[in-house]
Structure 1
Amino acid sequence: MAEKKVARFSSCRGVTFEINPNKASPFAINDPPQVQPDQEKEGWVWLPWTQRSSFRVFPTSSSLRRGSLRRTLSRPSSHFCDLDIDEDENINYESFEEYDDGDVEKQKSFDGVVAKQEPKVPRQKESRLSIILLDQGLFTVYKRLFVVCLMLNLLFLGLAAAGHFPYARRNAALFSIANIFALTLCRSEASLRVVFWLAVKVLGRPWVPLGLRTATTSFLQCLGGIHSGCGVSSIIWLIYALVLALEDRKNTSPEIIGVASAILSLICLSSLTAFPLVRHLHHNIFERTHRFAGWTSLILVWVFIILKACYEPIPKAYDFSASKIAGKQEFWFTLAISILIVLPWASLRRVPVRVSAPSGHASIIKFQGGVPAGILGRISPSPLSEWHPFGIISDGKEEHMMLAGAVGDFTKSLVSDPPSYLWVRSVHFAGLPYLTNMYEKVVLVATGSGICVFLSFLLQPSRADVCLLWVAKGIEENFGKEIQEMASGFPKEKVIVHDTAVSGRPNVAEMSVDAAKRWNAQVVIVTSNPEGSRDVVDACKASGIAAFGPIWDS
């Protein structure tokens, strides 16, 4: 039996995960079925036939449940970490192949019995979106940073409105622009690369308390909370500035009010598309709206500053003077914003690439030049429309590579029609894996193609002594011998590779805790899908081990 299913993926700063799991994917890792105590009796068993609501009945006995049922049927849980998809996929399900004589007789009367059976209520499978948005807790560092940022702005706004902060009342637009500068700073790949490098250099020393290092890691991973908080705050300040301008229309030109209103509309549009539900279900819409609305807003901010600085209320005319513009604080904030936004695009390059396909399910993209361990990069066939983030594998010398599973339009084209050139940003960005260098002993946990960003810690000298745990399906068949050999040749206590096609699906959370205890690790860093990352992080924290994994907006 087969059905058509739409698979969706989403990204978190360099790590992309599947929202609706693809059951046919060779990278999928299968969950063993949960057998209830009352199901050990001989009889019928109801099994999920699709992920949502359709069920089928199969005859089973205690011996069959313990045998072929557990080996052949399981609920898939995909572990993509850097892939994009928005296409229909055929999903095939395995059938039973082992029956004893009694089971064969039951199968003959199968059709007549099905109609008489009352289906059991299936247990609802957790959606990836609910895990992303709800299961990470109500008081995460991300949400705390968002609340603190918003509350500080509301406090200053309240003081200004009450007349206790006259500077803010006179410069409400400046506070809005300052928030835009802060949110841009938290998302600038160039500035974050510097911040992460400084964090490793300053705090990556044995005498620095471990608590300070883990707190810094958590803070840097959750800078998106400041980004979001400043975004909402900039809207609030701009609304306040517009209200003041409308109350004092005699000293404000219609052009200034019109431009400010247009900026407000564009920022609101960007914020709405960044709402988690829209962002993860319609990521392309979010990305393009954020980009083009942001660029248009920046242009309008420049227009707003020039008009506001040069407008003379008494003659109701404009005196365009460079000294007036340069003397405004808004000018310098906007100049800094412009530099931060333009810098990554100034590093845009169309570079030659070598693409090979170890299987029909994945491709390896090779570039010239070595890259430090823990760094991620973006590639694009068309830089204005789409960008795809991937972990980078490099020995730090002459070349680096990316591993792309062939599941979306772009990644499939890399296998079927390998390009000779791709667009890249030569300024690569640092993420959570880069902070591995802040510690002495670390366990790195990867599922599926999440191995990419961690392999560099094995291929080149690293400050941290790492232990790598990799869980994937059909490693040699789907990832190729080159990737497999990179993870081999190490002591078994340093590199643990579990092929689920051979050994079945393990309890990754338990394996991670055991590896961390044996390795005496200071921290565990995991790259998996939302459910897998949550389970590993929760299990490690319950055992008193600091652990970090990708969050929805890390």
Structure 2
Amino acid sequence: MESAVQRDWTLRPQKSNKQEAARTCISDRSSRDYVGGFERPRPAHLSRQHVEFLPRRPRQVPPLVTVSVRSSSPYAESNFSSISVDEVKTPSRIFHKAQYEQAGTYASCVELDDLESGSLSSNNDEKGSYCEQPEARRSLVPTEIYAEKIATKEELQALQNLFPLPPVRGSPSRNRFRYKYLSCYRELMVLVFAINIAAIIPMIICLRQNDRSFTYENAATATGANLLAAVMMRQEHVINTLFHLVCALPNGTPLWIRRQAAKAAYSQGGIHSAAGLSAMVWYILYIALLVRDFTGTHGEQTAIWILTSFTMFLFTILTAMANPPFRRTFHNVWELSHRFSGWTAIALIWAQLLLTTTSTAHQNDQPIMIILLLTPTFWLQTLTTILLLYPWIRLRRLPITAHNLSSHATELRFPNRKLKPCAGITLSHNPLLENHKFATIARPTPTGPQNRGFSVLVSNAGDWTQRLIASPPTHIWVRGGPITGMLRIASLFIPLVLVATGSGIGPCLSFLNTRRKRHSPCRIIWSARSPEETYGRGILEDVLRADRDAVIVDTRRSGHPDLVGLAFASVRSMRAEAVVVVSNPRVTKEVVFQLEVRGVPAFGAIFDS
């Protein structure tokens, strides 16, 4: 039979002499009834029920010092139970629930097997640990409605009135140039362009003076170096290393250094774009020098002109379709063109390299392999090809469990796979045609193989996600390894304000589930349409567990809030060092811009891929 224990928690003032207090409180009880100065309560009543009701302290109560049982009924007075008092001990998860949860009465399901086997006892805390077990966390079902946790219009306005949004400093044109056009992404682009221009100018001067010291081999080397840099900035291990180096900065580092380093960590796409454009410019010079210097047979010259013309056409397609407006409007077309045109261009460059090397070997009467190994372009192309093939070597089809949260969102769970926080993965039904990147929610400190895993929160944002929610699969393709996401830089700033809209709360939970609350205070601002109905009570519980004073906005009831005003007021109220925004491109750019022009460090995704 299933059983349950009803307990009552009260406060007792702390005594000055801790040893004397311990002797008085413990008396004939064993020392295992005390943890960190707290006394676990004794059973007050036993009955044949399957639910355990746990009264908890209101948040206004001072920190718990010493806990005692206000009424402890002897076991003889219980006429409804067949188990002894000694067989029922207070597990750590009950202790943690009473200490950390909000005020209210909760129902926590207790399994019969657990009671009979004694797995809920205090000497087996790992199984029932509230702080470490996401399953135990999800089994917590409140009997009260979360309506009071949703902020009203009046509450939102009152928060903004405490710290009104100040006027923007400087002229609008200067602010747009400084914080929009001259972003860290474009600063990295300018840096890469400057390096390439410094190398191109001497070559152009030599060409005008008919100096043959620069050859098409030099231009081919520069083209290969830029292509390698462009591919490296999209390689998962390179990106993860950049984030690891940046996040290794101590929190005592000056704020302006951490701010610039954080921006550079997730703006590496600027190097990718600039290196790709520079490779195209170098390739044009390569063609010009090839026309002047290449002296192969008629067949070799015909073949080299066909190869170079087709490669130049592919470079033009890649550059034109990578234009941001076109990429946003025709994302699937851009993805296909970028993948297949890029692969084809690399293959054509390999063909040109082999053709020119063969021609040079025949003219100089040398082995082809010797000349090839002494050519820098060969090694650059080899590294580029390996980096392109690497994600596809790790392509795998993984089992998933889909949990429909609503008609608008679903949660994909990947069991038995450990993943670091703030990481993203690439999912697909057909990897060659369509791939989608999603942030993951890592489970905090798994204690066993059955508790390992991570999940992905998917909301309806297009045809692909709509089909996934309507007909969730049992398996899905995952390409490459996990890639550290922008939210990883949030650990650099303490305190911190997180602003999320819709399913953007998913990446935030990946960060919040693994942070240390005491050492990294954080304020959450989450705006979503019917958050409890859309994303489920479990997600709402996770948010409130991470920040019990979280600002949760139901846009169906309160309309779209002033996220800039709420974020600024939260920064001032808790003296936060920075704001991290996880939302759609329009909201992210606007909130980041409005905060930065007011002197608040703000960070948001780039959306360049």
Q: Does TM-score exceed 0.5, indicating one fold?
A: yes
Residue 237 (str. 1) matches residue 282 (str. 2): yes
Tell me whether 1:399 sits opposite 2:444 in the alignment: no
Cα displacement (A) at 1:549: 1.4
Q: 5+ unaligned residues in a row in structure 1: which ranges? A: 1-132
For 1:80, the equivalent position in structure 2 comes to none
Contact 2:487/2:511, CA 8 A, preserved across alignment: no
Contact 1:537 1:549 in 2 (8 A): yes
Tell me the equivalent position of 2:194.
Answer: 151
Q: AA paired with 1:498?
A: V
Give the AA of the match of 1:310: T
**Contact 1:156-1:165 at 8 Å conserved across structures:** no
Q: Which residue type is aligned with residue 591 of structure 2?
A: V
Q: Give the Cα separation in 2 of the matches to 1:405 and 1:136.
A: 30
- Equivalent residues, number: 418
Task: State the distance in 1 between where 2:579 and 2:547 align.
Answer: 19
Question: Structure 2 CA distance, aligned partners of 1:197 and 1:145?
Answer: 19
Q: Deviations over 1:315-360 (max 9, x none)?
A: 5599663222122111111111112212222221100000121111
1:260-271 matched pairs, under 5 angstroms: 260-271=308-319
Which residue in 2 is equivalent to 1:469? 525
User: Residue 425 of structure 2 aligns to which amino acid in structure 1?
Assistant: G
Q: By how many angstroms is 1:536 displaced?
A: 2.0
Instruction: Indicate the residue corresponding to 1:325 in structure 2.
Output: 372
Q: Which amino acid aligns with 1:471?
A: S
| CA 356–296 in structure 1, closer or farther in 2 if over 3 Å, else same | same
3-state SS of 1:250 partner: coil
Shift of 1:491: 4.6
1:200 is the counterpart of 2:247: yes
How far did residue 168 of structure 1 move?
Answer: 7.0
Partner SS state of residue 548, structure 1: strand
Give the superposition deviation at 1:136: 6.2
Change (3 A) 1:542 1:272: closer
Q: Would you say 1:209 and 2:268 are equivalent positions?
A: no
Q: Does 1:481 align with 2:537?
A: yes
User: Compared with structure 1, are the counterparts of its residues 532 and 483 closer, same or farther at alpha carbon in structure 2 (3 Å cutoff)?
Assistant: same
Q: Secondary structure at the match of 2:569?
A: helix
Partner of 2:266: 221
Q: What SS does the corresponding residue of 2:544 show, helix, strand or coil?
A: coil
**Alignment partner, residue 405 of structure 2:** 358
Per-residue CA shift, 1:509-528, capped at 9, x if unaligned? 11111112222221111012
Percent of residue pairs bearing the same amino acid type: 29
Equivalent-residue separation in structure 2 for 1:178 and 1:165 (angstroms): 22
Task: Report 1:543-554 matches (<5 A).
Answer: 543-553=598-608
Alpha-carbon deviations, 1:419-476, whole Å to 9, x = none? 1100013511112111112333221110111111001222223574432211111011
Q: Does 1:179 align with 2:226?
A: yes
- After superposition, residues 401-420 of structure 1 pair within 5 angstroms as 401-420=455-474
Contact 1:445 1:468 in 2 (8 A): yes
Identify if the C-alpha distance between structure 1 residues 256 and 370 changes in structure 2 by more than 3 Å, giving closer, same or farther.
same
In 2, Cα distance between the equivalents of 1:322 and 1:448?
Answer: 57
Secondary structure of the structure 2 residue equivalent to 1:293: helix
- The alpha carbon displacement at 1:134 in A equals 9.7
Residue in structure 2 matching 1:446, options 500, 511, 517: 500
Q: Are the structure 2 counterparts of residues 318 and 304 from structure 1 closer, same or farther at C-alpha, using a change threshold of 3 Å?
A: farther
In structure 1, what residue type is equivalent to 2:281? I
Unaligned runs of 5+ in 2: 1-175, 447-451
Residue 454 of structure 2 aligns to which amino acid in structure 1? H
Q: How does 1:241-260 map to 2 (within 5 A)?
A: 241-250=286-295, 253-254=300-301, 255-260=303-308
Q: In structure 2, what is the equivalent of residue 4 of structure 1?
A: none
For 1:86-97, what aligned pairs fall within 5 Å after superposition? Answer: none
Please identify, of 236-245 and 160-169, the stretch whose mean Cα deviation from structure 2 is larger: 160-169
Task: Give the alignment's TM-score, normalised by structure 1.
Answer: 0.71
In 2, Cα distance between the equivalents of 1:449 and 1:172?
A: 47
Q: Distance in 2 between matches of 1:435 and 1:517?
A: 21
1:296 to 344, 354, 359: 344
Relative contact order, higher structure (CA 8 A, sep 6+): 1
Go from structure 1 to structure 2 and tell me whether the alpha carbon gap of 1:490 and 1:138 turns closer, same or farther (over 3 Å shift). closer
CA shift at 1:143, angstroms? 2.2
Tell me the equivalent position of 1:458: 512
Contact 2:336 2:433 in 1 (8 A): yes
Among 384, 389, 403, the alignment partner of 2:432 is 384
Corresponding residue SS for 2:481: coil
* Separation in structure 2 between the aligned mates of residue 504 and residue 347 of structure 1, nearest angstrom: 44
2:569 equivalent to 1:514: yes
Q: Check whether the contact 1:379–1:389 (CA below 8 A) recurs between aligned residues.
A: yes
* Secondary structure of 1:505's aligned partner: coil
CA contact (8 A) 2:426 2:480 kept: no
- Could you tell me which amino acid in structure 2 is paired with residue 336 of structure 1? L
Distance 1:219 1:256, change over 3 A: same
**1:219 counterpart letter in structure 2:** A
Whether contact under 8 Å (1:263, 1:297) holds in the other structure is yes
What is the RMSD of the two structures over their aligned residues, measured on CA atoms?
2.5
Task: Report Cα offsets for 1:297-326 as digits up to 9, x if no partner.
Answer: 22222222222223237x559966322212
Rg comparison, structure with higher value = 2
Separation in structure 2 between the aligned mates of residue 234 and residue 481 of structure 1, nearest angstrom = 51
Q: Is the 8 A contact 1:307 1:318 kept in 2?
A: no
Q: How does 1:19-98 map to 2 (within 5 A)?
A: none
User: SS at 2:434's partner residue?
Assistant: coil
2:596 to 525, 541, 547: 541
Distance 1:432 1:312 in 2: 48
